[in-house]
């Protein structure tokens, strides 16, 4: 090795100018000293099997004494030191130099490094120069594991330490020089000069191998990145300058090792980015990604493969911050269409999905910006790529859903970050992703929450007049109709989940137009829910669960939408089966609402429970709230309650709902005399329905007492001015006769007029005369004059059967009749006056007989 080096040196010196020959002479002298020095006062080199051309004369010329070891046959003298090659595990006869390097002074190190630079410059100055002509570069670049500082306080490595690989090359000196420098301090430029030597050597042939490059990068990272920031000191300027120069030298070394001409070597870049990624800034990471994608788009198979592997390695580990996201997305959209290699396509897809999951807002904004400007199909390809990764698809959709449901507080300032997407933009992005049909399984899991979010958003848009605040009028979104975008997304969601028939059904009934209507919005909501019930939607139960969750938050402004939807969904038996006490408690709370529309919705819920026929327990829990509605100050609520009860009674059975029916029958009494004919008719119909369910065996106290206490009222209302009420009362009397076992009176109730029924009732139930008289007295205050007149007449009939002297009950009746003498209706006042005369005559025997007007039995 020394022989070849010295011969090349003399040849090189002969060809150069005198001033350069002087510098080369000095440079090569220092190189040789470093190569053969053992750290002693007189450098030595150990040779094995020198052969016929001994380089002693040449080395002497350089001032390097040489001591020969061993004879021509390789024999060793007793006591002689082992040859360098033997100490390295080399076989005898290998004429290479074994080197042991001890620590040198800073001056020696700098001289050596300067010598390497001079030699590299000289070689590079030749047209076809190669370092191997003067010094084997491959030997310099042999990798060796250098031991770190010993625990006993020794130097960077044991003197004469040998690599486990058995190879020790002089380029180990560069690594050693860098590693010998303290990692916590920067006191000299040795580290800088060593890296600049690497730059110089990288510019001459033969090129470094991949492993050599990685070793050098590793050493630079270990000893440069660990340096602290430049500290303030007396020589602050010098310290800062040295720090900057060292960092610049490291950058130059990376440039020389990683770049292949003007383009990066993707293979080495991949390996480097694996001792180096965490040190990059977000913008630098973006640059790496852009470079990798550019390499994948080239025709070079090696570059494309290396770039793909590099990006794959980056994507597999936790992703640090990345800058220039819009630039990356634009590059993917415009520059990667020509990538046909399968692995590279998958890598680009994974990168796009990762960016969308981490930087959802920025990615969506860029995609819509490109889509709105170019109107091309390129962005459609990116939406398809985003929808092609199941896990990423779910995360992106969830993130978009959160953005869609965000609503600014009234009077709140607009968000300062213009990169944040608005609910409208999120809705549009959801629609685009739903157009990809391959993710049907993921849509199934997202359906319930996304469906409710879109539905409630339509209600919000209706409430604000169909347009959102200025927060949503960004990035060109003001040209879009928020309501149309939301309804379209809702349709796309249902189709993607397999509910195309539901969409068509709602369309035929005009439901989508109703949903977007300000005046009839909730009709559209109800129609949509009804379609899900009729068409047996698979997601009715999870959707209902979310609806109840929305109703639990009483401060929501879209509660009516949720309640309307819940009312319709409860028509589904599977949904009704999920109603537990917690759900009932949440629903019952809405009975306290001051909004009549809300209360009416709750009344529909109760009616739905009754129709199912197996929800007696739920009805019992809601019973107090229902009955309380009968006494509301809002007449419309009272009317709606009675209409609901009228229908509910038809679906209830006496066995399961007897307690509710009994309580309801007691509650109805005050409403039989309501002036509102609709309300009065509803009350009588409810009572008729209750008595129709009562069998004789079930008619026990107190219900029997209550029924008997209403018999006169029912008979007298056969004269009600509303013919429908009269007809219902006759049916009720027949049900009553059946329940009481009055078979004889049942025929009379069904066919005779009121006067004949009263006479027959008094004749058959004479023992209840006083009871009947009391019922007549309550009807003296009836708002209907015909009923007051009939009550007075029947009271007169009863009084004739009573003994005035023995029964004090007539005194109260007499006082009531006296007040009716001033009744505004002349027929009532006239009849009351006649009865009072009769009562007075019975007390005075000489009084004239009563007039025929009363005695005939009819007014």
Q: What is the spatial distance between Cα 8 and Cα 24, in angstroms, rounded to a whole number? A: 12
The answer on pLDDT for 810 being more than 50 is yes
The answer on pLDDT for 517 being more than 50 is yes
SS3 87: helix
Structure tokens at 782: 């009836």
The answer to whether residues 201 and 159 touch, using CB atoms and an 8 Å cutoff, is no
Q: What is the spatial distance between Cα 242 and Cα 188, in angstroms, rounded to a whole number? A: 8
SS3 606: helix
Task: Answer whether 0.75 is exceeded by the pTM.
Answer: no
Predicted local distance difference test score (pLDDT) of residue 409? 60
The answer on pLDDT for 835 being more than 90 is no
* Range with lowest mean pLDDT among 184-188, 392-396, 506-510: 184-188
The answer to whether residues 569 and 605 touch, using CB atoms and an 8 Å cutoff, is no
Q: What is the spatial distance between Cα 784 and Cα 779, in angstroms, rounded to a whole number? A: 9
SS3 654: helix
The answer on pLDDT for 748 being more than 90 is yes
Alpha helices in 317-439 (DSSP H): 325-335, 342-358, 360-374, 378-386, 390-405, 423-434
Predicted local distance difference test score (pLDDT) of residue 804? 58
The answer on pLDDT for 509 being more than 90 is yes
* Range with lowest mean pLDDT among 86-95, 342-351, 434-443, 847-856: 86-95
- pLDDT band of residue 816 (cuts 50, 70, 90) is confident
SS3 154: coil
Query: What is the phi-psi region of residue 441: left when phi exceeds 0, alpha when psi lies from -120 to 50, beta otherwise?
Result: alpha
Structure tokens at 507: 């369309």
Say which residue the tokens 């019992």 belong to. Answer: 620
The answer on pLDDT for 57 being more than 60 is no
DSSP 709: T
* Radius of gyration for the alpha carbons in the chain, expressed in angstroms and rounded: 52
Q: What is the spatial distance between Cα 271 and Cα 255, in angstroms, rounded to a whole number? A: 14
Closest CA to 215 of 284, 158, 169, 157: 169
Structure tokens at 219: 């050493």
Evaluated on CA atoms 212, 224, 34, 207, the torsion sign reads positive
Say which residue the tokens 């007793």 belong to. Answer: 78
Q: Which residues pair with 205 in a beta bridge?
A: 130
**Exposure string (b/e) for 419-429, b if CB count within 10 Å is 16 or more?**
ebbbbbbbbbb
The answer to whether residues 720 and 684 touch, using CB atoms and an 8 Å cutoff, is no
Tell me what percent of the residues of the chain surpass a pLDDT of 90. Answer: 34
In this predicted model, what pLDDT tens digit does every residue of 359-387 receive, in sequence order?
Answer: 889 999 999 888 887 766 778 888 888 88
The answer to whether residues 137 and 129 touch, using CB atoms and an 8 Å cutoff, is no
SS3 68: strand
Predicted local distance difference test score (pLDDT) of residue 77? 36
Top-confidence residue, 200 or 221: 200
Backbone angles phi, psi at 394, to 5 degrees: -65, -45
Preceding peptide of 702 cis, ω within 30°:
yes
Burial of residue 29 (number of CB atoms within 10 Å: 0-12, 13-18, 19+): middle
In this predicted model, what pLDDT tens digit does every residue of 400-427 receive, in sequence order?
Answer: 999 898 876 655 555 555 567 889 999 9
The answer to whether residues 757 and 823 touch, using CB atoms and an 8 Å cutoff, is no
* Range with lowest mean pLDDT among 158-162, 745-749, 790-794: 158-162
Preceding peptide of 120 cis, ω within 30°:
no
Closest CA to 801 of 823, 838, 769, 825: 769
Predicted local distance difference test score (pLDDT) of residue 479? 57
Backbone angles phi, psi at 511, to 5 degrees: -70, -35
Predicted local distance difference test score (pLDDT) of residue 656? 85
- pLDDT band of residue 224 (cuts 50, 70, 90) is confident
SS3 260: strand
């Amino acid at each position: 090795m020394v022989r070849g080096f010295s011969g090349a040196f003399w040849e090189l010196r002969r060809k150069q100018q005198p001033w350069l020959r002087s510098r080369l002479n000095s440079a090569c002298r220092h190189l040789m000293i470093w190569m053969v020095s053992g750290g002693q006062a007189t450098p030595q080199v150990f040779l094995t099997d020198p052969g016929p051309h001994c380089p002693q004369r040449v080395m002497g010329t350089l001032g390097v004494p040489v001591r020969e070891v061993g004879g021509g046959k390789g024999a060793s003298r007793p006591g002689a030191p082992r040859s360098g090659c033997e100490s390295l595990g080399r076989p005898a006869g290998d004429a290479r130099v074994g080197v042991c390097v001890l620590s040198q002074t800073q001056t020696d190190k700098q001289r050596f490094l300067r010598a390497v630079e001079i030699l590299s410059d000289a070689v590079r100055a030749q047209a076809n120069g190669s370092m191997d002509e003067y010094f084997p570069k491959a030997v310099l670049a042999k990798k060796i594991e250098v031991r770190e500082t010993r625990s006993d306080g020794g130097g960077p490595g044991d003197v004469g330490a040998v690599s486990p690989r058995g190879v020790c090359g002089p380029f180990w000196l560069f690594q050693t020089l860098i590693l010998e420098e303290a990692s916590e301090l920067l006191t000299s430029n040795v580290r800088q000069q060593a890296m600049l030597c690497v730059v110089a050597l990288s510019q001459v042939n033969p090129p470094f191998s991949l492993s050599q490059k990685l070793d050098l990068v590793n050493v630079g990272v270990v000893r440069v990145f660990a340096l602290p920031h430049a500290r303030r000191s007396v020589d602050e300027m010098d310290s800062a300058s040295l720090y900057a120069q060292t960092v610049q030298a490291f950058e130059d070394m990376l440039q020389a090792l990683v770049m292949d001409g003007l383009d990066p070597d993707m293979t080495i870049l991949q390996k480097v980015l694996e001792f180096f990624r965490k040190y990059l800034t977000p913008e630098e990471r973006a640059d790496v990604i852009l470079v990798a994608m550019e390499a994948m788009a080239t025709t070079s198979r090696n570059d494309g493969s290396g770039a793909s592997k590099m990006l794959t390695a980056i994507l597999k580990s936790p992703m640090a911050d990345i800058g220039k996201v819009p630039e990356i997305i634009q590059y993917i959209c415009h520059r990667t269409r020509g990538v046909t290699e399968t692995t590279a396509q998958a890598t680009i897809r994974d990168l796009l999905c990762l960016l969308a999951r981490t930087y959802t807002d920025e990615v969506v904004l860029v995609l819509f910006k490109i889509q709105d400007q170019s109107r091309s199909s390129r962005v459609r390809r990116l939406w398809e790529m985003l929808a092609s990764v199941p896990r990423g698809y779910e995360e992106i959709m969830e993130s978009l859903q959160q953005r869609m449901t965000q609503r600014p507080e009234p009077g709140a300032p607009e968000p300062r970050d213009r990169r944040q997407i608005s609910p409208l933009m999120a809705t549009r992005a959801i629609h685009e992703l739903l157009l990809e049909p391959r993710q049907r399984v993921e849509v199934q899991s997202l359906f319930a929450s996304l469906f409710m979010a879109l539905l409630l958003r339509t209600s919000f848009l209706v409430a604000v007049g169909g347009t959102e605040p200025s927060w949503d009028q960004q990035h060109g979104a003001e040209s879009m109709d928020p309501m149309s975008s939301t309804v379209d997304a809702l349709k796309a969601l249902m189709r993607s989940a397999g509910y195309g028939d539901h969409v068509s059904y709602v369309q035929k009934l005009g439901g989508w137009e109703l949903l977007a209507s300000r005046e009839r919005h909730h009709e559209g909501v109800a129609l949509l829910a009804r379609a899900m019930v009729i068409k047996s939607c698979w997601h009715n139960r999870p959707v209902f669960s979310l609806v109840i969750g929305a109703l639990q938050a009483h401060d929501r402004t879209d509660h009516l939408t949720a309640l309307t939807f819940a009312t319709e969904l409860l028509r589904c038996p599977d949904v009704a089966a999920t109603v537990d006490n917690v759900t009932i408690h949440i629903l019952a709370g809405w009975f306290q609402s001051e909004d009549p529309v809300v209360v009416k919705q709750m009344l529909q819920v109760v009616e739905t429970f009754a129709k199912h026929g197996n929800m007696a327990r739920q009805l019992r829990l809601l019973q107090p709230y229902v009955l309380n509605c009968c006494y509301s100050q809002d007449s419309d609520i009272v009317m709606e309650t009675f209409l609901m009860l009228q229908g509910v009674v038809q679906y209830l059975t006496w066995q399961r709902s007897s307690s509710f029916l009994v309580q309801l029958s007691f509650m109805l009494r005050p409403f039989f005399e309501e002036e509102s004919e609709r309300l009065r008719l509803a009350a009588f119909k409810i009572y008729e329905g209750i008595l129709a369910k009562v069998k004789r065996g079930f008619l026990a106290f107190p219900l029997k007492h209550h029924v008997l206490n209403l018999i006169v009222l029912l008979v007298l209302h056969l004269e009600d001015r509303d013919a429908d009420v009269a007809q219902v009362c006759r049916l009720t009397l027949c049900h009553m006769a059946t329940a009481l076992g009055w078979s004889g009176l049942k025929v009379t109730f069904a066919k005779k007029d009121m006067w004949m029924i009263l006479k027959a009732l008094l004749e058959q139930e004479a023992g209840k005369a006083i009871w009947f008289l009391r019922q007549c007295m309550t009807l003296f205050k009836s708002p209907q004059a015909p009923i007051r007149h009939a009550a007075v007449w029947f009271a007169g009939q009863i009084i004739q059967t009573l003994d005035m002297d023995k029964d004090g009950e007539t005194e109260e009746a007499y006082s009531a009749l006296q007040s009716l003498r001033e009744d505004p209706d002349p027929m009532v006042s006239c009849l009351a006056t006649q009865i009072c005369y009769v009562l007075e005559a019975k007390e005075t025997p000489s009084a004239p007989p009563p007039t025929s007007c009363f005695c005939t039995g009819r007014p």
